[in-house]
């Protein structure tokens, strides 16, 4: 077994009266690819920050033989970094107007520039486009050292992990093997727990019924009547005493068996949604939304030219494209939220029957931090409280959890509350911008189930291939400042994209530019005789600009 490069012993961490970590010993060895999995609010980010030395635990110690680099969920990257890595991820430095994916690229490039032997990655796929996801997967697979990864990207976990840490109720269970092995074992344990609980309830019922029969039988045993003779009465008394003793012994035996019966907690089961969301006021027309665009610009950047699309009423459409192409800008336009510097020459037609609901990447703005989850989701709900609680239970917030104030929630729990609030409103058309960001894996699966059964019209931005495949019935793709619609779902859209010769040429050109930039980076770091640094820098900047244009 490889020697550990990080060891954490006796970690304890609480927030208020809630204990989020209670672990005995964790080790990370060179070459490990560990997926850290748990529900929102379980303490995954807390654990990564403790392992990185950015947060002190209440108790315990972390020992490391190598420095650790951390890819955070939020915040800015270090301004300096390895030029080659920054060029590879097209990190653009911190400036206004960057998309979510571009900021994620900056954070990844900043962490990889440390050249550490231990990489701790907290949701590194957030907002990344298809190209960025492939690049990240390649870098993590080839990483020289160990990786501990928190991610809701199932494809990445499958491709990368050889161990899984499952965090639940403050404790970590270490599962050897990959993500699918973990899920199979988790399902097996859940089925076993259901079986054992059913057996427990069945035995409990049988013992109670037996005890009840004993009590009824004892009540029917009569003492000797007063009219009996002495000898007859003595015989009856002995028989009565024997019967009472036997019944009393049997009753004690039953009571002892009931007391010794191991209590089994009822496994958590997701409630069934019996009411179809989004059908209260259906759009009867053919189209819910029509978009015609001569030109769409954001500042100096042209996003679309001579582009159009329609949203058929009742359709579920995924809007996809590379980072910075304008997906969020377009969604905001449809809601009437035209940002500063955004100019549209064209027309947006929204059917009068449409009732829009909007989920922003910065969904915290829709929630009152001082009110409870339940108060927030009921604020504009058109469904009864019982149904609202059922919807939240499907997303992992059940029982007394709905009374927690929003300010105490994790990022994922806030996303759940915002999504729940939106789905309970009087809407028949939902526009969702990266709805899976910050959600745990189990909630993502339930959101897929809820949205796949949504009765209204749905348009969403996502880079999660599996989520798109399970939720969308059609695809709209940004391509060369145009919008290409595929009516047959993700697989057909992916196949169509592969057949496009222009796309293949674009990728080859990108590859050639990246290779040339890597050469320039090396020559600027160690100039050869006759090199003119200012000329190298000028060529590098020119290629970087061309690379941004080719990437949309």
Which secondary-structure segment (H or E) carries 13?
strand 4-15
Q: What's the rounded Cα separation, in Å, for the pair 3 and 458?
A: 51
Residues 288, 427 contacting (CB under 8 angstroms): no
pLDDT at res. 224: 46
Residue from 321, 323, 318 nearest 482 by CA = 321
Question: β-strand 457-461 against 316-320: which pairing, if any?
Answer: parallel
- Domain 4-177, what fold? Rossmann fold (3.40.50)
Quote the CA–CA distance of 360 and 358 in Å, as a whole number: 6
Secondary structure (DSSP) of 374-388: HHHHHTTBSS-HHHH
Spelled out in words, what is the top-level CATH class assigned to the domain 287-492? Answer: alpha beta
Chain-centre distance for alpha carbon 528: 49
In this prediction, residue 263 carries a pLDDT of: 75
CB atoms within 10 A of CB 159: 15
Residue 262 gets which letter from DSSP?
P
Q: What is the pLDDT of residue 52?
A: 94
Q: What is the pLDDT of residues 223-254, one digit of tens each?
A: 445 555 555 555 555 555 656 666 667 767 77
Stretch (H or E) spanning 34? strand 33-38
Alpha helices in 122-263 (DSSP H): 130-141, 154-160, 179-220, 230-260
Taking the C-alpha atoms of residue 468 and residue 396, their distance in angstroms, rounded to an integer, is 21
212 phi/psi in degrees, rounded to 5: -65, -40
130/139 Cα distance (integer angstroms)? 14
- Residue 54 DSSP one-character state: S
What is the rounded CA–CA span in Å between residue 6 and residue 112? 18
Q: Tell me: the pLDDT tens digits for 178-188? A: 999 999 998 89
φ/ψ region of 127 (left if φ > 0, alpha if ψ in -120 to 50, else beta) reads left
Distance CA 404, CA 213 (A): 46
pLDDT for the residue 358 = 92
User: 205 φ, ψ to 5°?
Assistant: -65, -40
Report which of 188, 165, 215 is spatially closest to residue 48, judged by C-alpha positions. 165
Would 4-177 and 287-492 be classified into the same CATH topology? yes
Over pLDDT 70: what percentage of the chain?
Answer: 83
Rounded to a whole number, what is the largest CA-CA distance in the chain?
A: 133
* Spatial distance between the Cα atoms of 487 and 485, rounded to a whole number of angstroms: 6
Query: Domains of the chain: which residue ranges?
Result: 4-177, 187-260, 287-492, 501-550
Parts of the chain with a pLDDT under 50: 79, 223-224
């Amino acid at each position: 077994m490889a020697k550990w490069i990080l060891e954490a012993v006796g970690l304890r961490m609480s927030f208020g009266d809630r204990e989020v970590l209670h672990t005995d010993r964790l080790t990370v060895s060179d070459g490990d690819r560990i997926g850290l999995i748990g529900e929102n609010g379980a303490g995954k980010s807390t654990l990564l920050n403790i392992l990185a030395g950015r947060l002190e635990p209440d108790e315990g110690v972390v020992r490391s033989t190598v420095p650790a680099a951390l890819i955070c969920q939020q915040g800015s990257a270090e301004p300096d970094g390895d030029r080659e890595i920054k060029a590879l991820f097209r990190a653009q430095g911190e400036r206004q107007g960057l998309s979510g994916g571009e900021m994620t690229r900056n954070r990844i490039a900043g962490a990889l520039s440390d050249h550490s032997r231990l990489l701790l990655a907290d949701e590194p796929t957030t907002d990344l486009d298809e190209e960025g996801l492939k690049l990240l997967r390649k870098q993590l697979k080839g990483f020289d050292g160990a990786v501990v990864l928190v991610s809701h990207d199932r494809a990445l976990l499958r491709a990368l992990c050889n161990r899984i840490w499952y965090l639940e109720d403050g404790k970590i269970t270490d599962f050897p093997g990959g993500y699918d092995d973990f899920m199979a074992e988790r399902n097996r344990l859940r089925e076993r727990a259901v079986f054992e609980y059913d057996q427990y309830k069945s035995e409990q019922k049988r013992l109670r019924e037996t005890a009840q029969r004993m009590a009824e039988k004892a009540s029917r045993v009569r003492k000797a009547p007063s009219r009996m003779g002495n000898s007859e009465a003595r015989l009856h008394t002995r028989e009565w005493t024997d019967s009472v003793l036997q019944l009393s012994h049997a009753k004690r035996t039953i009571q002892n068996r009931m007391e010794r019966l191991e209590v089994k907690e009822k496994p958590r089961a997701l409630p069934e949604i019996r009411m179809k969301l989004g059908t209260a006021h259906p759009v009867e027309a053919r189209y819910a939304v029509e978009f015609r665009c001569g030109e769409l610009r954001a500042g100096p950047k042209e996003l679309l030219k001579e582009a159009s699309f329609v949203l058929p009423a009742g359709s579920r459409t995924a809007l996809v494209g590379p980072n910075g192409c304008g997906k969020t800008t377009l969604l905001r336009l449809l809601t009437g939220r035209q940002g500063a510097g955004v100019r549209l020459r064209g027309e947006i037609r929204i059917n009068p029957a449409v009732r829009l609901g909007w989920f922003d990447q910065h969904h915290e703005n829709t929630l009152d931090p001082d009110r409870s989850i339940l108060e927030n989701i009921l604020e504009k709900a058109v469904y009864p409280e019982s149904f609202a609680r059922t919807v939240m239970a499907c997303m992992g917030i059940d029982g007394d959890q709905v009374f927690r104030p929003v300010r105490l929630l994790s990022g994922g729990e806030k996303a759940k509350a915002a999504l729940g609030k939106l789905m309970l409103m009087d809407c028949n058309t939902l526009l969702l911008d990266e709805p899976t960001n910050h959600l745990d894996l189990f909630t993502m699966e339930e959101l897929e189930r809820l949205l796949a059964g949504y009765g209204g019209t749905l348009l969403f931005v996502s880079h999660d291939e599996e989520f798109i495949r399970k939720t969308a019935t059609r695809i709209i793709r940004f391509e060369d400042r145009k919008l290409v619609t595929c009516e047959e779902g993700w697989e057909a859209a992916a196949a169509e994209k592969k057949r496009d010769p222009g796309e293949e040429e674009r990728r080859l050109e990108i590859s050639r530019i990246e290779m040339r930039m890597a050469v320039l980076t090396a020559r600027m770091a160690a100039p050869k005789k006759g090199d003119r640094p200012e000329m190298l820098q000028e060529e590098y900047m020119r290629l970087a600009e061309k690379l941004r244009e080719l990437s949309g």
